[in-house]
Amino acid sequence: MSAEYTSPLAAAIAPDLLERFLRYVRFDTQSQVDRQQSPSTPGQLELGRTLADELQELGSGDAALDEHGYVYATLPGNVAGAPVVGLIAHLDVSPEASDHDVQPLVHRDYDGGVIALPHGGQRLDPELMPQLAAKRGHDLVSSSGNTALGADDKSGAAAIMATVKYLSEHPQQPRCTLRIAFTPDEEIGEGASLFDLERFAARCAYTVDGSKLGELQDESFTAVEVRIGIEGVNVHPGQASGRMVSALVLAAKLVAALPEDRLTPATTAGREGFIHPIALSGAPDRAELRVIVRDFEEDLLQQHVELLRATAERTVGTDPRAKLRFDVHRQYRNMRDYVAADPLLIATAEQAFAAEGVAPVREPIRGGTDGSLLSEKGLPTPNIFTGGYEYHSVREWASLQDMAAAAAVLVHLAEAWTKVGDAQ
């Protein structure tokens, strides 16, 4: 017997949500690093057009896909004086795992054991996945094992669309005016870069881009990317003795010189930041190392950057013939201060969680969302859970019960904001 839903509302929303989710994950929307246009890949446009068309069918007369791949829509409210509130999810999935030809599998009434996926020898093992161990009786969705599922963030997109459908079919349900947006290229840090704040015109917004049941997040990392270029001296290997300076070897030594016992994603947790090399390419004459640096505090982030800089200068400086380039690119800031300036954002969300019987999980995001940059730009945007797990991997899975709970929370959120005057 399948696990119970968090409420009759969640149970009522679940069938439509599942149907949408299974359709959306089949769109190949993997974003591409170092994009040349927005969106970076054509599949995002295809999904965006589909969502805009569906929003039109659900009563959003202004639903449209813009020239940059963003979908904007409005679901009018039915309570005078209520503020305009935004709901946002992203169209793309991470470049870290294939999104081509996703074949979603539904595992009804999960029995608590190992789920062997049909391709790639992949297994969903509750001993290795604590979140999975807690989902006995849930209806789970996974990929077939050779692609990501795309729950990040198509579970959020499906939850928003199922919410819009429910509200459009229940006009008596109190709701504020909802602005809907679906953004491209969030996974490569560009989701908010071309976001039209004037067109969106919301008092505040919520990204539906979290993970485990109950997440309500108002803190994210502050983030930079460092690109380190090393120029060496290439010589035919037969005549290289005493003459060659391999940029690739120096780059490898630089990575090896970084501290292993701290400041890496594998050895940090909670509120600890990290230095994370994500790509190394090159040849003896020149090499490039890309590193992401993260922390919740600006001063600590700068300390990490300076540690990386000092390590690079010391390593490359072992040979005066080598040249070093060290470029720092700011990506996003911690949303904390911007969200904290408007206490109603979290207080109203907590009311919605309580109405659904879901206890808020107040943990900082060890990453970023579109809300990080949108908050900095003037649209304070906390983050809400989706019910997806093991993101950015072929082991990604989602719980239908948890996804439905997220959609039900959004219905309650639209009502909770009707109790907040627009002037507040």
Q: What ranges make up the beta strands (E) of 140-209?
A: 140-142, 177-183, 204-208
Gap between the Cα atoms of 330 and 112, Å rounded: 43
DSSP-assigned letter for residue 3: P
Catalytic residue among 16, 28, 54, 92: 92
Considering the candidates 28, 186, 209, 218, report the single residue annotated as catalytic. 186
Distance of alpha carbon 243 from alpha carbon 240, whole angstroms: 5
Q: 96: how many CB neighbours lie within 10 A of its CB?
A: 14
Contact 188, 39 (CB under 8 A): no
User: Could you tell me which residues come within 8 angstroms of residue 228 by beta carbon, excluding any fewer than 6 positions away?
Assistant: 251, 254, 288, 289, 290, 291, 312, 324, 325, 326, 327
3-state secondary structure of 289: strand
Report whether 381 contacts 140 (CB < 8 A): no
| In contact, 87 and 203? CB cutoff 8 Å | no
Rounded Cα gap, residues 198 and 139, in angstroms: 40
For residue 391, count other CB atoms closer than 10 A to its CB: 25
Reduced to 3 states, what is the DSSP secondary structure of residue 78? coil
Residue 101 annotated in active site: no
Query: Under a CB-based contact definition with an 8 Å cutoff, are residues 246 and 264 in contact?
Result: no
CB-CB neighbours of 313 under 10 Å = 12
Partner residues linked to 323 by β-bridges: 231
In Å, the largest CA–CA distance within the chain is 82
Contact 65, 4 (CB under 8 A): no
Which residues 6+ apart lie within 8 Å of 169 measured at CB?
none
User: Does 92 qualify as catalytic in the annotation?
Assistant: yes
Active-site residue list:
92, 186
